[in-house]
Amino acid sequence: MLGYFPNLPYHVVVIGAASGIGRETASFLATQGVSVACIDRNLAGADETAATIASGQGKAFSAAADVTEDASIPPALDAAERALGPIDGVVNCAGVTGKTNLKGHEVDLADFDGRLPDQPAGAMVLSKAVLPRMLARNYGASPCRLDRRQGGQRRHGRLCGHEGRL
């Protein structure tokens, strides 16, 4: 363990955990002793991520939710808290990227414009659902967003945002 989470148990929700950066983030957190709620609109993929974590002796839970649908997030967070305990942190890896492996000058503007509204709206939907839970406890890690442009980089000495009192 690298010691990112010295105060275990620590419960983190990973949105977009069915594949890609979200799956890798959930798996990494589990190796650090973190209980992980794997949430994605692709429930089969989230189930697979959680099962892989559990098979390695980690603690994981899976649920379906879509950050573009405001009503789908609170029930998934409720279920995660029942299964794991209070949410200490959130990593938002959900995103609709459109065509990938394109150079910037090859991106179709209509494709870009069609996906752009989902990104900030998803972050707002997630923040509206999780921050009141953290504020009620006066504890939590700032929700953060990881995507392929960031490469999962660490900030402020933590994997995601600021940990502690809000």
The answer to whether 61 and 84 have CB atoms below 8 angstroms apart is yes
Structural fold of domain 11-164: Rossmann fold (3.40.50)
**pLDDT tens for residues 70-122?**
899 999 999 999 999 999 888 988 865 556 566 667 777 776 665 555 566 77
Q: How far apart are CA 43 and CA 48, in angstroms?
A: 8
Q: Which of 3-7, 37-41, 55-59, 125-129 has the lowest mean pLDDT?
A: 3-7
Domain definitions of the chain by residue range: 11-164
Predicted TM-score (pTM) of this structure: 0.76
